[in-house]
Amino acid sequence: MVSIVAANFAKFGKREEDIFSISSESAMPIVDKFRDAIDFVVVSNSYSGEFNGISGLNSLLTTHLAMDDLPSMRVDNASGSGGSAILAAKSLVASGEARNVLVIGTEKMTGYPTKKSTGIIASLLPPEERSGGLSLPSLAAFMARAYMREFSPTRESIAMVAVKNHHNGAMNPYAHFQSEVSLEKVLASKVIADPLRIFEYCPVSDGAVSLLVSSDADSSSLANRTVKIAGTGAGSGVSSIASRESLVTIESVKESSAKAFRSSGTKPDDVDIAELHDMASILEIVESEDVGFFKKGEGWKALENGETAIGGRLPINTSGGLNSKGHPIGASGVAQAAEIYLQLTGQAGKRQVKNASTGFSLSMAGFGNNSISIVYGVN
Amino acid sequence: MVSIVAANFAKFGKREEDIFSISSESAMPIVDKFRDAIDFVVVSNSYSGEFNGISGLNSLLTTHLAMDDLPSMRVDNASGSGGSAILAAKSLVASGEARNVLVIGTEKMTGYPTKKSTGIIASLLPPEERSGGLSLPSLAAFMARAYMREFSPTRESIAMVAVKNHHNGAMNPYAHFQSEVSLEKVLASKVIADPLRIFEYCPVSDGAVSLLVSSDADSSSLANRTVKIAGTGAGSGVSSIASRESLVTIESVKESSAKAFRSSGTKPDDVDIAELHDMASILEIVESEDVGFFKKGEGWKALENGETAIGGRLPINTSGGLNSKGHPIGASGVAQAAEIYLQLTGQAGKRQVKNASTGFSLSMAGFGNNSISIVYGVN
């Protein structure tokens, strides 16, 4: 078994500092404490070339951290990079290639006009869809319309993802947005891609987060409070959205989640707390169904009933999610694991969920091109 | 134990096709034969964003290969990406996360002015050295001068790396350059960074190569001729060249190689054939010493004596190396493993080395920022 023994955030948001400083801000408290144990560094990052004009980021970052002596690699899987990086780190440890892997999820994206940022990120779409002018925000709008047509949710229930996640983010000192937003304000905000509005999309953010992923032999001696990676699953679906059978189901999420539950010997009902990939409001609802938490077409009801709020039966995105915490692409999947670690070890402050012992995270590449699901347990 | 059960090249060189076509050319023969067994795809690539305007390459590539159902990730470690990708694939298999991983090393770099390409690649240097105008070719020239000062090799011996590797490349149908070059011609060619000349540097190339990395449980049923990954080691050194203690030793190579020999229970003398990272002529000589094949300061003598030629005691870069085969960055480390696979299974055609049973490859990021060494054996 492999465990997470430490997690630390740099503040997400629009940051003045460069990618080295932000990454270092997240990593240094872990490096200071566990320097001698760390024997490999995995950097989760997608766009250092496009946004920062930097290649070989992993080596430059270990140099910046004065850990030149440690081998490293960069893992990229677009917005699912964090999940893939944890999968790689877990595999390095489980196979004996390393004992204690420092995972640094980082992205520095702000400072460009939104159109340019969106264009860079749209470079993950199939060429034929990209040249047709599609972008990730417009795909989410298609999904919302299809979901509304098929399952007749209240429009309010979809917008409530933003209300709930802003409420949670307001209690997260590392979140990009730390203020509540009312349902009225969400529904009156600017339309980005009809019917979805600006508060229903994640912002463009800078940010970094670090984890220490350790073998069982090491974890118990390194820390008192650790969280085990109980199971993992990677799944994949059709990249071309036009070729998918359904717009209201994400096949890769179903597959990765089924694998993660199988490999951990758990089931969706066992989960006490989950972080999902809410790049757009509708995605949280659709994913909550595809993971298996709710029946298809009923995720919006659970949300409307407060079941996914802190204090509800299954709190989702207690961190604020991508929607409020922000979405520095390479950092997001690592941040999900960090939030689960904080929650399961009782370090989540004002947003602490009581008596949570099983956690779940879903890291997703592109618009569900592939997904990585992880089940966590208390050691 | 984890094995390589198949390897296939796309022709390296200046290619008209896009990165998807080149990658597919290398992967399709393996996909056609082993489609049902493959359960994960690792793409080794560094610069799809910078050179091709593409992100999320792994998902787009699995789509292009009609393997949308397979999870994937991209592993990047600059010019050491291939070594890291094999390390990741091996770890995924050894930890039970996957059983049969298709590794695709690919880069499409030509079509830009050399100055632009060199500038993009120089983005892996520490900012302070990059802004001082350093590039990888100029660092190699510093190394050559320091080596000449310290060990007084003949100038010819250094140039002979290019002569030997072009000779080998002429027998490799996938090499970028497939023609011999004389010592006189190398030494009369254009100076790139004094004292090194253009024939002593690898070209800018497009290319792709694919491997199937399998668990023992699967490999014997999938193929008759397989090569085991007997040991791996990752090492790291100081990225800032100005901060290194010596310019004629690469610490990361010493460390990664010592680890690989230790983990495989072999020693340098056991190696029958090796692929080294000859981005510049001098690097092959320095690396051949740091791996442990020859004493420090004596690698040039071994070369001059023909010990590293095909037919010599320890043939190095039978593929033509980066120097002649070309250096599509994300593909190079995977290509080294593919060459060893072909050699150890008797499929290396005109350049076949007789009675080789232990192979070695050195994949290096940047100018030795970090290194991955792999020892291979016959199953």
Q: List, for residues B144-191, the tens digit of each pLDDT value.
A: 999 999 999 999 999 999 999 999 999 999 999 999 999 999 999 999
Q: Which residue's structure tokens are 């509708």? A: A282
- Tell me the mean pLDDT in the region B17-28: 98
Q: How many domains does chain A have?
A: 1
Residue A356 has pLDDT above 90, yes or no: yes
Chain B residue numbers touching A255 (CB-CB < 8 A): 69
Give the CA radius of gyration of chain B: 19
A119 burial type by CB count under 10 A (0-12 exposed, 13-18 middle, 19+ buried): middle
Residue among A54, A56, A370 minimizing CB distance to B366: A56
Interface contact B120, partner A, CB < 8 A? yes
| C-alpha pair distances (Å), A50 with each of A166, B76, B88, B196 | 29, 14, 24, 32
Query: What six digits make up the tokens of A317?
Result: 């995105």
pLDDT, position A179:
97
**Cβ separation A62–B372 shorter than 8 A:** no
Res A112: pLDDT: 85
Mean pLDDT within B301-314: 98
Task: Enter the tokens of residue A74.
Answer: 């960069």
Mean pLDDT of all residues in A17-31: 98
Please list the residues that pair with B361 across neighbouring strands: B275, B374
**Residue B232 resides in a domain:** no
Q: Is A11 among the domain residues?
A: yes
Is residue B88 one of the residues assigned to a domain? yes
Q: Which residue of chain A is at minimal alpha-carbon distance from B54? A: A123
Query: In what helix (H) or strand (E) does residue B127 lie, and over which residues does it extend?
Result: helix B127-131
Q: Closest partner residue to A97 among B63, B73, B87, by Cβ?
A: B87
As a whole number of angstroms, the distance between CA B318 and CA B336 comes to 10
The C-alpha of B70 sits at a distance from chain A's nearest C-alpha, in angstroms, of 5
Distance of alpha carbon A316 from the chain centroid: 12
The percent of residues above 90 in pLDDT, for chain A, comes to 89
Q: Which two tokens stand for residue A364?
A: 């997703």
Say what the ipTM of the complex is.
Answer: 0.97
pLDDT for B134 equals 82
- B281: exposed, middle or buried (Cβ count in 10 Å: 0-12, 13-18, 19+): buried
Q: Which of B111, B37, B46, B22 is nearest to B333 (CA)?
A: B46
Across the interface, whether the CB atoms of B123 and A235 are under 8 A apart is answered no
Match 């990585």 to its residue by tokens.
A372
A85 in a structural domain: yes
pLDDT at B131: 82
Q: What pLDDT is recorded for position B257?
A: 98
**Residue B130 has what pLDDT?**
82
Query: Closest partner residue to A63 among B123, B126, B252, by Cβ?
Result: B126
Put simply, whether B244 touches A (Cβ < 8 Å) is no
pLDDT-derived band at B339, boundaries 50, 70, 90: very high
Question: Which residues, other chains included, contact B252 with Cβ-Cβ below 8 Å and sequence gap of 6+?
Answer: A71, B235, B236, B237, B364, B368, B369, B370, B371
pLDDT tens digits, B53-101? 999 999 999 999 999 999 999 999 999 999 999 999 999 999 999 999 9
Q: Is B239 in Cβ contact with A63 (below 8 Å)?
A: yes
- Taking an 8 Å cut-off on Cβ atoms, the answer to whether A92 and B91 are in contact is yes
- Nearest-by-Cβ selection for B236 from A50, A68, A92: A68
pTM exceeding the 0.90 threshold for the entire prediction = yes
B21-37 burial, b at 16+ Cβ within 10 Å, e below that, comes to: ebbbbbbeebbebbeeb
Is residue A25 one of the residues assigned to a domain? yes
Reported as a single tens digit per residue, the pLDDT across A293-334 is 999 999 999 999 999 999 999 999 999 999 999 999 999 999
Inter-chain residue contact B238 with A68, CB threshold 8 Å: yes
CB A230 within 8 A of CB A377: yes
Question: Which range has the worst mean pLDDT, A235-244, B64-73, B329-338?
Answer: A235-244
Task: Confirm if B364 and B334 have CB atoms less than 8 A apart.
Answer: no
A248 pLDDT above the threshold of 90: yes
CB within 8 Å: B73 and A91: no
Give the structural domain span for A55.
2-112+204-222
Q: Check A126 against B372: CB less than 8 A apart.
A: no
Average of per-residue pLDDT values in chain B: 96
Closest of A15, A6, A4 to residue A326, by C-alpha:
A15
Q: Please check whether residue B8 lies inside any domain of the structure.
A: yes
What sign results for the dihedral spanned by CA atoms B260, B264, B268, B272? negative
Instruction: Outline where B226-328 has alpha helix (H).
Output: 251-264, 281-290, 299-304, 321-325
Burial profile A350-360: b = 16 or more Cβ within 10 angstroms, e = fewer: ebebeebebbb
Q: Which of B2, B45, B76 to probe by mutation at the A interface, max A CB count within 10 Å?
A: B76
- pLDDT grade for A50, boundaries at 50, 70 and 90: very high
Residue A166 distance to chain B (closest CA, Å): 29
Structure tokens at A182: 């009312």
Q: Which residues pair with B41 in a beta bridge?
A: B72, B102
CB contact under 8 A, B77 and A58: yes
Which tens digits make up the pLDDT trace of B94-130? 999 999 999 999 999 998 888 888 889 889 988 888 8
Mean pLDDT for all residues in chain A = 96
Q: How far is A19 from chain B (nearest CA, A)?
A: 12
Q: For A1, which residue in chain B has the nearest alpha carbon? A: B95
Alpha-carbon gap, residue B366 to B369, rounded angstroms: 5
Contacts of A216 in chain B (CB under 8 A): none
Does residue A143 fall inside a structural domain?
no
pLDDT in tens, A101-121: 999 999 999 988 888 888 898
- CA of A53 to nearest chain B CA: how many angstroms apart? 6
Q: In this structure, what CATH number is given to the domain that contains residue A79? A: 3.40.47.10
Query: Residue A82: what are its φ and ψ, rounded to 5°?
Result: -60, -45
Is residue A372 less than 8 Å (CB to CB) from chain B?
A: yes
Q: Give the DSSP H/E element, type plus range, for residue B104.
A: strand B100-107
Q: Is A245 within 8 Å of chain B by CB? A: no
Q: Give the Cα separation of A181 and A165 in Å (integer).
A: 9
Please tell me the distance from the alpha carbon of residue A28 to that of residue B374, in angstroms, as a whole number: 31
Chain A CA closest to residue B88: A88
Omega of the bond leading into A137 within 30 degrees of 0 (cis) = no
B226 neighbors B201 (Cβ within 8 angstroms):
no
Contacts of A252 in chain B (CB under 8 A): 71
Nearest-angstrom CA–CA distance, A166 and A324: 5
Distance from CA of A1 to the nearest CA of B (A): 10
| C-alpha span between B348 and B327 (Å, rounded) | 19
Residues of chain A positioned with their CB less than 8 A from the CB of B262: none
> Which is it for strands B370-378 and B227-236: parallel, antiparallel or unpaired?
antiparallel
On whether residue B124 sits in a domain, the answer given is no
A68 touches chain B (CB under 8 A): yes
Give the confidence band of B302 by pLDDT, cuts at 50, 70, 90: very high
What tokens appear for A45 in the block?
């990052």
Do A126 and B63 lie within an 8 Å CB cutoff? yes
Q: Which candidate, A331, A321, A365, A278, places its Cα nearest to that of A110?
A: A331
